Structure 1
Amino acid sequence: MSIDVYAIPSRSIVDLVAKTSSDLARHGMRTFFAQGHAVHVTLYMTRYPMSAEPQLKAAVARAVKDCRSFPLVVEGSERTASNWLFLRVGRSVALQRLADEITLTAEPFRSRDVTPPAWMGEYPAKLPAFERYGSPNVFMQFDPHLTLLANETHNGFAAFVAELEKNPPRANGTVEGVGIGIVDANGQVVKTLAEYRCAP
Protein backbone atom coordinates (compact mmCIF):
# COMPACT_ATOMS: atom_id res chain seq x y z
CA MET A 1 0.00 0.00 0.00
CA SER A 2 1.13 3.58 -0.64
CA ILE A 3 1.57 5.55 2.55
CA ASP A 4 2.36 9.24 2.94
CA VAL A 5 3.93 10.70 6.07
CA TYR A 6 2.98 14.36 5.85
CA ALA A 7 3.05 17.72 7.58
CA ILE A 8 -0.30 19.05 8.78
CA PRO A 9 -0.69 22.75 7.88
CA SER A 10 -2.52 25.32 9.97
CA ARG A 11 -5.89 26.88 9.18
CA SER A 12 -4.50 29.86 7.22
CA ILE A 13 -2.88 27.46 4.72
CA VAL A 14 -6.03 25.36 4.45
CA ASP A 15 -8.04 28.55 3.89
CA LEU A 16 -5.79 29.50 0.95
CA VAL A 17 -6.31 26.05 -0.59
CA ALA A 18 -10.07 26.44 -0.07
CA LYS A 19 -10.10 29.86 -1.73
CA THR A 20 -8.06 28.69 -4.72
CA SER A 21 -10.30 25.63 -4.99
CA SER A 22 -13.38 27.87 -5.09
CA ASP A 23 -11.78 29.98 -7.82
CA LEU A 24 -11.03 26.83 -9.83
CA ALA A 25 -14.58 25.57 -9.32
CA ARG A 26 -15.93 28.76 -10.88
CA HIS A 27 -13.83 27.90 -13.94
CA GLY A 28 -15.19 24.35 -14.05
CA MET A 29 -12.31 22.48 -12.34
CA ARG A 30 -12.67 20.37 -9.19
CA THR A 31 -9.65 20.18 -6.90
CA PHE A 32 -8.69 17.37 -4.57
CA PHE A 33 -9.72 19.63 -1.67
CA ALA A 34 -13.18 20.02 -3.22
CA GLN A 35 -13.36 16.23 -3.42
CA GLY A 36 -12.82 16.01 0.34
CA HIS A 37 -9.13 15.15 0.52
CA ALA A 38 -7.10 16.57 3.40
CA VAL A 39 -4.64 19.40 2.81
CA HIS A 40 -1.15 18.06 3.49
CA VAL A 41 2.52 18.58 2.65
CA THR A 42 4.21 15.29 1.77
CA LEU A 43 7.36 14.61 3.77
CA TYR A 44 7.99 11.02 2.63
CA MET A 45 5.73 8.83 0.50
CA THR A 46 6.38 5.30 -0.72
CA ARG A 47 4.93 1.79 -0.68
CA TYR A 48 4.88 -0.52 2.33
CA PRO A 49 3.87 -4.11 3.03
CA MET A 50 0.60 -4.29 5.00
CA SER A 51 2.51 -5.80 7.93
CA ALA A 52 4.64 -2.66 8.34
CA GLU A 53 1.87 -0.34 9.57
CA PRO A 54 2.30 -0.87 13.37
CA GLN A 55 6.10 -0.48 13.22
CA LEU A 56 5.84 2.57 10.99
CA LYS A 57 3.35 4.30 13.28
CA ALA A 58 5.45 3.56 16.36
CA ALA A 59 8.65 4.82 14.70
CA VAL A 60 7.07 8.07 13.49
CA ALA A 61 5.45 8.64 16.89
CA ARG A 62 8.88 8.35 18.55
CA ALA A 63 10.49 10.66 15.98
CA VAL A 64 7.98 13.49 16.49
CA LYS A 65 7.12 13.11 20.19
CA ASP A 66 8.92 16.34 21.10
CA CYS A 67 8.04 18.31 17.95
CA ARG A 68 7.09 21.95 18.10
CA SER A 69 5.12 23.84 15.46
CA PHE A 70 7.13 26.06 13.12
CA PRO A 71 6.39 28.55 10.32
CA LEU A 72 5.10 27.34 6.97
CA VAL A 73 4.80 29.66 3.97
CA VAL A 74 2.93 29.17 0.71
CA GLU A 75 4.36 31.31 -2.07
CA GLY A 76 3.04 31.03 -5.62
CA SER A 77 1.96 28.16 -7.81
CA GLU A 78 3.44 25.68 -10.26
CA ARG A 79 2.05 23.92 -13.30
CA THR A 80 3.96 20.73 -14.13
CA ALA A 81 4.70 19.29 -17.56
CA SER A 82 1.80 16.84 -17.13
CA ASN A 83 -0.67 19.53 -15.99
CA TRP A 84 -0.65 19.03 -12.26
CA LEU A 85 -1.25 22.23 -10.31
CA PHE A 86 0.61 22.88 -7.06
CA LEU A 87 0.75 25.66 -4.54
CA ARG A 88 4.43 26.08 -3.74
CA VAL A 89 5.53 25.61 -0.14
CA GLY A 90 8.69 27.35 1.08
CA ARG A 91 11.51 24.86 1.67
CA SER A 92 12.63 26.19 5.04
CA VAL A 93 15.45 24.71 7.10
CA ALA A 94 12.91 23.44 9.65
CA LEU A 95 10.70 21.79 7.02
CA GLN A 96 13.69 20.22 5.26
CA ARG A 97 14.99 18.90 8.60
CA LEU A 98 11.61 17.36 9.42
CA ALA A 99 11.36 15.73 5.99
CA ASP A 100 14.89 14.34 6.29
CA GLU A 101 14.19 12.93 9.75
CA ILE A 102 10.92 11.35 8.63
CA THR A 103 12.61 9.81 5.57
CA LEU A 104 15.33 8.21 7.69
CA THR A 105 12.72 7.05 10.23
CA ALA A 106 10.24 5.52 7.78
CA GLU A 107 12.49 4.19 5.02
CA PRO A 108 13.56 0.95 6.79
CA PHE A 109 9.96 -0.33 6.74
CA ARG A 110 9.23 0.26 3.04
CA SER A 111 8.71 -2.28 0.26
CA ARG A 112 11.82 -3.01 -1.79
CA ASP A 113 10.07 -3.98 -5.03
CA VAL A 114 8.89 -0.50 -6.09
CA THR A 115 9.15 0.81 -9.63
CA PRO A 116 9.49 4.48 -10.62
CA PRO A 117 6.23 6.27 -11.49
CA ALA A 118 5.78 7.17 -15.16
CA TRP A 119 6.12 10.93 -14.52
CA MET A 120 9.71 10.44 -13.39
CA GLY A 121 10.70 10.11 -17.05
CA GLU A 122 10.55 13.93 -17.08
CA TYR A 123 12.85 14.21 -14.03
CA PRO A 124 15.85 11.86 -14.43
CA ALA A 125 17.78 13.64 -11.66
CA LYS A 126 15.32 12.14 -9.18
CA LEU A 127 16.08 8.51 -10.12
CA PRO A 128 19.03 7.96 -7.71
CA ALA A 129 16.90 9.13 -4.76
CA PHE A 130 14.08 6.81 -5.83
CA GLU A 131 16.39 3.84 -6.19
CA ARG A 132 17.87 4.35 -2.72
CA TYR A 133 14.86 5.54 -0.73
CA GLY A 134 11.82 4.38 -2.72
CA SER A 135 10.74 7.98 -3.22
CA PRO A 136 11.94 10.61 -5.71
CA ASN A 137 11.35 13.66 -3.51
CA VAL A 138 13.75 13.23 -0.61
CA PHE A 139 16.76 15.13 0.76
CA MET A 140 18.09 17.46 -1.98
CA GLN A 141 15.14 16.45 -4.19
CA PHE A 142 12.58 17.37 -1.52
CA ASP A 143 9.95 19.49 -3.26
CA PRO A 144 7.27 20.66 -0.81
CA HIS A 145 3.91 21.61 -2.29
CA LEU A 146 0.14 21.38 -1.95
CA THR A 147 -1.51 19.49 -4.82
CA LEU A 148 -4.69 21.00 -6.25
CA LEU A 149 -5.16 19.17 -9.56
CA ALA A 150 -3.61 16.25 -11.46
CA ASN A 151 -3.47 15.68 -15.23
CA GLU A 152 -5.95 18.52 -15.77
CA THR A 153 -7.52 18.64 -19.26
CA HIS A 154 -10.04 21.49 -18.84
CA ASN A 155 -9.70 24.02 -21.65
CA GLY A 156 -9.65 26.90 -19.14
CA PHE A 157 -6.68 25.51 -17.22
CA ALA A 158 -3.93 27.47 -18.99
CA ALA A 159 -5.77 30.78 -18.58
CA PHE A 160 -6.33 30.12 -14.88
CA VAL A 161 -2.64 29.33 -14.35
CA ALA A 162 -1.72 32.57 -16.14
CA GLU A 163 -3.95 34.49 -13.71
CA LEU A 164 -2.28 32.76 -10.74
CA GLU A 165 1.11 33.83 -12.05
CA LYS A 166 -0.03 37.45 -12.16
CA ASN A 167 -1.47 37.27 -8.63
CA PRO A 168 0.54 34.58 -6.82
CA PRO A 169 -1.31 32.93 -3.94
CA ARG A 170 0.41 33.45 -0.61
CA ALA A 171 -0.22 32.51 3.01
CA ASN A 172 1.73 32.39 6.25
CA GLY A 173 0.96 29.60 8.67
CA THR A 174 2.56 26.82 10.67
CA VAL A 175 3.15 23.08 10.66
CA GLU A 176 0.84 21.81 13.38
CA GLY A 177 1.79 18.15 13.36
CA VAL A 178 2.65 15.06 11.36
CA GLY A 179 0.19 12.57 9.90
CA ILE A 180 0.34 9.14 8.32
CA GLY A 181 -2.18 8.16 5.66
CA ILE A 182 -2.89 5.63 2.95
CA VAL A 183 -2.93 7.47 -0.38
CA ASP A 184 -4.34 6.89 -3.86
CA ALA A 185 -2.48 6.99 -7.17
CA ASN A 186 -2.46 10.82 -7.04
CA GLY A 187 -0.93 10.93 -3.56
CA GLN A 188 -4.19 11.98 -1.92
CA VAL A 189 -5.03 10.69 1.54
CA VAL A 190 -7.91 8.21 1.46
CA LYS A 191 -7.48 6.84 5.00
CA THR A 192 -5.77 8.52 7.95
CA LEU A 193 -3.77 6.03 10.01
CA ALA A 194 -2.40 8.40 12.68
CA GLU A 195 -1.84 12.06 13.46
CA TYR A 196 0.65 13.49 15.94
CA ARG A 197 0.22 17.11 17.01
CA CYS A 198 3.18 19.34 17.79
CA ALA A 199 3.38 21.68 20.76
CA PRO A 200 2.72 25.34 19.91
Structure 2
Amino acid sequence: MNHTEKLMANPEHKEQLDGLDKISVVSYRLGITLFALSLLSLFSAELLCVLELETAPVLREWSINFIAVSAALSAANIHVYDKKVRAIIAWSSWIGLALFIVLPSKEWLYIGFIFITFSGIALKESYCFKVKGLNLVPLLLILSVLVLWMKEPTILAALVGLSGLIYTVLAIEKWKMPLHFDIGNKANYEI
Protein backbone atom coordinates (compact mmCIF):
# COMPACT_ATOMS: atom_id res chain seq x y z
CA MET A 1 0.00 0.00 0.00
CA ASN A 2 1.53 3.34 -1.03
CA HIS A 3 1.39 6.56 1.04
CA THR A 4 -1.74 7.91 -0.70
CA GLU A 5 -3.56 4.59 -0.28
CA LYS A 6 -2.76 4.69 3.46
CA LEU A 7 -4.34 8.12 3.86
CA MET A 8 -7.80 7.72 2.41
CA ALA A 9 -10.51 5.51 1.09
CA ASN A 10 -9.96 3.61 -2.12
CA PRO A 11 -12.81 4.33 -4.59
CA GLU A 12 -12.03 1.18 -6.62
CA HIS A 13 -13.08 -1.05 -3.73
CA LYS A 14 -16.86 -1.42 -3.42
CA GLU A 15 -17.53 -1.95 0.28
CA GLN A 16 -20.93 -3.05 1.54
CA LEU A 17 -22.21 -0.02 3.48
CA ASP A 18 -24.44 -0.25 6.53
CA GLY A 19 -26.73 2.53 7.73
CA LEU A 20 -24.05 4.12 9.93
CA ASP A 21 -21.60 4.19 7.02
CA LYS A 22 -24.17 5.97 4.85
CA ILE A 23 -24.94 8.50 7.59
CA SER A 24 -21.21 9.08 8.06
CA VAL A 25 -20.60 9.77 4.36
CA VAL A 26 -23.65 12.01 4.02
CA SER A 27 -22.66 13.95 7.17
CA TYR A 28 -19.10 14.40 5.87
CA ARG A 29 -20.40 15.68 2.54
CA LEU A 30 -22.91 17.95 4.30
CA GLY A 31 -20.00 19.37 6.32
CA ILE A 32 -18.06 20.13 3.15
CA THR A 33 -21.12 21.70 1.53
CA LEU A 34 -21.97 23.78 4.59
CA PHE A 35 -18.35 24.92 4.83
CA ALA A 36 -18.42 26.10 1.20
CA LEU A 37 -21.67 27.99 1.77
CA SER A 38 -20.36 29.43 5.05
CA LEU A 39 -17.25 30.78 3.35
CA LEU A 40 -19.38 32.38 0.65
CA SER A 41 -21.61 33.84 3.34
CA LEU A 42 -18.54 35.17 5.20
CA PHE A 43 -17.37 36.66 1.89
CA SER A 44 -20.70 38.53 1.67
CA ALA A 45 -20.49 39.62 5.31
CA GLU A 46 -16.99 41.03 4.82
CA LEU A 47 -18.12 42.94 1.74
CA LEU A 48 -21.04 44.36 3.72
CA CYS A 49 -18.55 45.32 6.43
CA VAL A 50 -16.43 47.20 3.89
CA LEU A 51 -19.58 48.99 2.77
CA GLU A 52 -20.37 49.69 6.44
CA LEU A 53 -23.85 48.19 6.24
CA GLU A 54 -25.68 47.32 9.46
CA THR A 55 -26.40 43.73 8.46
CA ALA A 56 -22.70 42.80 8.26
CA PRO A 57 -22.20 41.73 11.92
CA VAL A 58 -25.29 39.49 11.95
CA LEU A 59 -24.36 37.75 8.70
CA ARG A 60 -20.77 37.41 9.90
CA GLU A 61 -21.89 35.78 13.16
CA TRP A 62 -24.15 33.33 11.31
CA SER A 63 -21.33 32.51 8.89
CA ILE A 64 -18.91 31.73 11.69
CA ASN A 65 -21.51 29.65 13.54
CA PHE A 66 -22.10 27.60 10.39
CA ILE A 67 -18.34 27.17 9.93
CA ALA A 68 -18.33 25.65 13.43
CA VAL A 69 -21.20 23.29 12.57
CA SER A 70 -19.52 22.26 9.32
CA ALA A 71 -16.32 21.50 11.25
CA ALA A 72 -18.18 19.19 13.62
CA LEU A 73 -19.88 17.36 10.74
CA SER A 74 -16.68 16.87 8.77
CA ALA A 75 -14.32 16.14 11.66
CA ALA A 76 -16.63 13.51 13.14
CA ASN A 77 -16.89 11.70 9.82
CA ILE A 78 -13.51 12.00 8.10
CA HIS A 79 -12.55 8.87 6.16
CA VAL A 80 -8.78 8.51 6.25
CA TYR A 81 -7.06 5.16 6.74
CA ASP A 82 -4.03 6.45 8.66
CA LYS A 83 -5.07 7.10 12.27
CA LYS A 84 -2.40 9.77 12.88
CA VAL A 85 -3.47 11.84 9.88
CA ARG A 86 -7.12 11.29 10.75
CA ALA A 87 -6.45 12.44 14.34
CA ILE A 88 -4.69 15.63 13.23
CA ILE A 89 -7.49 16.53 10.83
CA ALA A 90 -10.30 15.74 13.28
CA TRP A 91 -8.76 17.01 16.52
CA SER A 92 -7.95 20.36 14.98
CA SER A 93 -11.67 20.98 14.69
CA TRP A 94 -12.41 19.70 18.20
CA ILE A 95 -9.79 22.09 19.62
CA GLY A 96 -11.20 24.89 17.46
CA LEU A 97 -14.74 24.17 18.64
CA ALA A 98 -13.64 24.14 22.30
CA LEU A 99 -11.93 27.50 21.78
CA PHE A 100 -15.06 28.78 20.01
CA ILE A 101 -16.97 28.12 23.24
CA VAL A 102 -14.29 29.21 25.74
CA LEU A 103 -12.75 32.17 23.88
CA PRO A 104 -15.46 33.46 21.51
CA SER A 105 -13.71 36.82 21.03
CA LYS A 106 -10.57 35.11 19.60
CA GLU A 107 -12.04 34.33 16.17
CA TRP A 108 -8.67 34.03 14.46
CA LEU A 109 -7.59 31.38 16.97
CA TYR A 110 -10.52 28.97 16.80
CA ILE A 111 -11.06 29.58 13.09
CA GLY A 112 -7.36 28.77 12.62
CA PHE A 113 -7.80 25.33 14.17
CA ILE A 114 -10.97 24.69 12.16
CA PHE A 115 -9.19 25.76 8.98
CA ILE A 116 -6.49 23.14 9.68
CA THR A 117 -9.23 20.53 9.36
CA PHE A 118 -10.51 21.94 6.09
CA SER A 119 -6.97 22.34 4.75
CA GLY A 120 -6.41 18.64 5.47
CA ILE A 121 -9.69 17.77 3.77
CA ALA A 122 -8.73 19.85 0.73
CA LEU A 123 -5.39 18.04 0.46
CA LYS A 124 -7.04 14.63 0.99
CA GLU A 125 -9.66 15.32 -1.65
CA SER A 126 -7.07 16.69 -4.10
CA TYR A 127 -5.82 13.09 -4.49
CA CYS A 128 -9.26 12.11 -5.81
CA PHE A 129 -10.36 15.20 -7.71
CA LYS A 130 -8.73 17.51 -10.19
CA VAL A 131 -10.62 20.55 -8.87
CA LYS A 132 -8.65 23.60 -9.92
CA GLY A 133 -7.21 25.39 -6.90
CA LEU A 134 -7.93 22.64 -4.36
CA ASN A 135 -4.21 22.38 -3.50
CA LEU A 136 -4.20 26.16 -3.05
CA VAL A 137 -6.96 26.09 -0.39
CA PRO A 138 -4.62 25.45 2.59
CA LEU A 139 -2.59 28.54 1.70
CA LEU A 140 -5.76 30.61 1.21
CA LEU A 141 -7.12 29.48 4.58
CA ILE A 142 -3.83 30.16 6.39
CA LEU A 143 -3.73 33.65 4.90
CA SER A 144 -7.39 34.11 5.88
CA VAL A 145 -6.52 33.44 9.53
CA LEU A 146 -3.68 35.98 9.38
CA VAL A 147 -5.96 38.56 7.76
CA LEU A 148 -8.72 37.78 10.27
CA TRP A 149 -6.24 38.51 13.06
CA MET A 150 -5.25 41.76 11.29
CA LYS A 151 -8.94 42.73 10.83
CA GLU A 152 -8.70 43.44 7.10
CA PRO A 153 -12.21 42.74 5.71
CA THR A 154 -11.41 43.52 2.06
CA ILE A 155 -8.56 41.01 1.87
CA LEU A 156 -10.47 38.48 3.97
CA ALA A 157 -13.44 38.73 1.59
CA ALA A 158 -11.21 37.89 -1.38
CA LEU A 159 -9.51 34.94 0.37
CA VAL A 160 -12.65 33.31 1.79
CA GLY A 161 -14.59 34.04 -1.40
CA LEU A 162 -12.04 32.18 -3.52
CA SER A 163 -11.81 29.34 -0.97
CA GLY A 164 -15.60 29.15 -0.90
CA LEU A 165 -15.82 28.86 -4.68
CA ILE A 166 -13.23 26.08 -4.77
CA TYR A 167 -14.97 24.24 -1.94
CA THR A 168 -18.32 24.65 -3.73
CA VAL A 169 -16.90 22.87 -6.80
CA LEU A 170 -15.54 20.16 -4.49
CA ALA A 171 -18.93 19.75 -2.80
CA ILE A 172 -20.67 19.38 -6.16
CA GLU A 173 -18.13 16.75 -7.25
CA LYS A 174 -18.49 14.87 -3.93
CA TRP A 175 -22.29 14.63 -4.27
CA LYS A 176 -21.90 13.13 -7.77
CA MET A 177 -19.93 10.16 -6.39
CA PRO A 178 -21.43 6.93 -5.06
CA LEU A 179 -21.28 6.79 -1.23
CA HIS A 180 -18.91 3.80 -1.14
CA PHE A 181 -16.16 5.91 -2.74
CA ASP A 182 -15.71 7.77 0.57
CA ILE A 183 -15.39 4.63 2.67
CA GLY A 184 -13.13 2.50 0.51
CA ASN A 185 -11.96 -0.74 2.13
CA LYS A 186 -12.95 -0.90 5.80
CA ALA A 187 -10.17 -3.39 6.49
CA ASN A 188 -7.52 -0.73 5.74
CA TYR A 189 -8.55 1.68 8.52
CA GLU A 190 -6.12 1.88 11.42
CA ILE A 191 -7.92 1.87 14.75
**TM-score between both structures, scaled by the size of structure 2:** 0.28
Q: Which has the higher strand share?
A: 1
**TM-score between both structures, scaled by the size of structure 1:** 0.28
Q: Which has the higher helix share?
A: 2
